A and B are shown apart, each in its own frame.
Chain A
Amino acid sequence: MTDLTAMMAGDRDVVMSCRVRLARNVSGFPFVGRATHPQRREVLETVRAAAGPDEASVGLVGGGRVGASTAESLAWVDLAALPKRDRQLLWERHLISRQFAEGDSPRAVAVTPDERFSLMVNEEDHVRIQVLRTGNLLREAFDAAVRVDATLGSRLDFAFHPKWGYLTACPTNVGCGIRIGVMVHLRALRVTNEIEKVKRAAKELHLAVRGFHGEGSEATGDWFQISNQRTLGVTETGLLEEFAGRIVPAVVAYEREARRVLLERQRTLLEDRVFRGISLLRSARLLGLDEAMKQLSSVRLGVCLGLIPDVGLDTLNRLTIQLQSAHLRAGESGIESDDDERAARARVARTILGDQ
């Protein structure tokens, strides 16, 4: 049973997830693009040794003590040795960037078992600390990212300049090297054609608005990633306050108001979309990714408005990832053609949502 009050309290009706990412480079090495493969391997080993074996040693729990009893191990994945499908799998789960998934140079990612933390080594910068949370838990994500930064920074010399701050390969990240971002579901604002206003306001506030998979993906669906663009001349806590205190509450309130208006003025049309969506996901035999995402968006709106009480947001979040291509191929053998994939997607949707 969906608890609407609990959902509203965590902003989970609008904020699907949030992310804090820090870019750092190790002093004494060229940036990744300029580094030779032996240098990249050395960076990898240096960072890996500094991060240590588990959540405690990397600073996520237990105040950075090595081997605290509750700490889970970090899983290190060597990207260069990973099959293409598994790289895509990590990308679909938002654990690595698309750029990191491609190429053959020495690089690796460390991931915690709960997949809420990843440490990319040798992406565009030597170190990319990333903390993810479901719903609007920006402050929690921020605290975790800062703790890891402090822990690694106590063991590694990060490239730093008194004027420019943390030095990054791309000058657009210089300064704090921080990206704070939220993935929001703005279905009602899209339907009411008010999304352009959000995009314009975001631009004025020096924010980037991107699609489901971040950089390089178009914001064409109903999911939008909103993140800061300025990293210089701002403080980390200042940016956090701007996001958690101003931007996210404003976007959430705006979307909720659009939903309220839709429900009041176009209830039948709205219900029709929602119930068509859930019926389709529960009965289709062939399901393309675009269609699945579109219907998931309708169903998500229905769940958030209390129209589909037997489906929870966690189920939908899981489904949104599991219906992606590499996840389907990892879950079932024998998927070769596009039709095989569409059939598998329909099967997974029916299984998770309950075949009607």
Chain B
Amino acid sequence: MAAPFRPCDHCAKPAVVHNTVIVDGKMNEVHLCEDHAGAAGIQMPGQAPIHQLLGQLAQVAGTRPRGPVCPECGHTFHDFKTTGLLGCPACYDAFATTVGPVIERSHGGASEHIGNVPARADDANQRAALLQQLLRELETAVSAEQYERAAQLRDRIKDLRPTTAARIDAAP
């Protein structure tokens, strides 16, 4: 009898890989189509040499996947590899060493946010990010010889962090 149709977790195609991952006693099911399974590094039976296949099965059968676990939500690095998704905001710090390089690769080597900052980001975060952004804008303005804009930016930086502004003012 044919298995009941189950769509992939990421698209409408039928899932061909069905994994059960147990983290801290909590069971999570992952269903992936051939393409998304491939993207997550899982090879289909028939494509993989038998020892790799057995390795995968052993990993699935294990009660606790290897690798770091997010202390906030219980997401594992294995979950990330399987789904391509993180579990919660804290995962970014929990998997910093492993996910960080993946992020940088997928953004053409960029490793830092330079865009807008939310109105209600906590003060320290907001100041740090805004300061970085203003410093970059200042650099661009100076190299484009937009001195009026540069002066405005300096004022904003000064308001934000007087010590930094003093350093900029002291620069030639």
Contact = CB atoms under 8 A, between A and B. Distances in A.
B7 A160 contact: no
Given A98-B12, A99-B10, A159 B89 contact: yes
Interface in B62-106: 72-73, 75, 83-89, 92-93, 99, 102-103, 106
B107 A233 contact: yes
Contacts of A235: 114-116, 133
B85 A170 contact: yes
16 contacts: A33-B87, A34-B75, A146-B116, A149-B116, A153-B118, A159-B89, A160-B117, A163-B112, A170-B84, A172-B106, A175-B115, A230-B108, A230-B110, A232-B113, A233-B111, A235-B133
Interface stretch (A23-31, A107-115, A191-199, A285-293): A23-31
A164 B106 CA distance: 13
Interface stretch (B121-129, B152-160, B163-171): B121-129
Interface in A139-198: 146, 149-150, 153-154, 156-167, 169-172, 174-176, 178
Nearest to A216: B11
Given A30-B73, A153-B120, A230-B108, A161 B89 contact: yes
Interface string A194-231: 00000000000010000000001000000000000111
Nearest to B117: A160
Contacts of B88: 29-31, 34
B35 to A, nearest CB: 10
A171 B114 contact: no
Contacts of A25: 89
A102 B7 contact: yes
Contacts, number: 124
Interface residues of B, number: 40
Contact of A230 (B93, B107, B112, B120): B107
B86 A165 contact: no
Main DSSP-derived SS at the A contact region: loop
B119 interface: yes
Contacts of B107: 172, 174-175, 230-233
Given A166-B118, A175-B110, A33 B129 contact: no
A356 to B, nearest CB: 38
A59 to B, nearest CB: 12
A154 B120 contact: yes
**Residue of B12, B72, B85 most packed against chain A (CB within 10 A):** B85
B113 A161 contact: yes
B128 A232 contact: no
A34 B73 contact: yes
Given A34-B73, A162-B125, A232-B110, A176 B116 contact: yes
Given A27-B89, A30-B73, A99-B11, A164 B103 contact: yes
B97 to A, nearest CB: 13
A234 interface: yes
A153 B88 CA distance: 19
A31 B12 contact: no
B114 A233 contact: yes
A11 interface: no
Contact of A167 (B7, B92, B102): B92
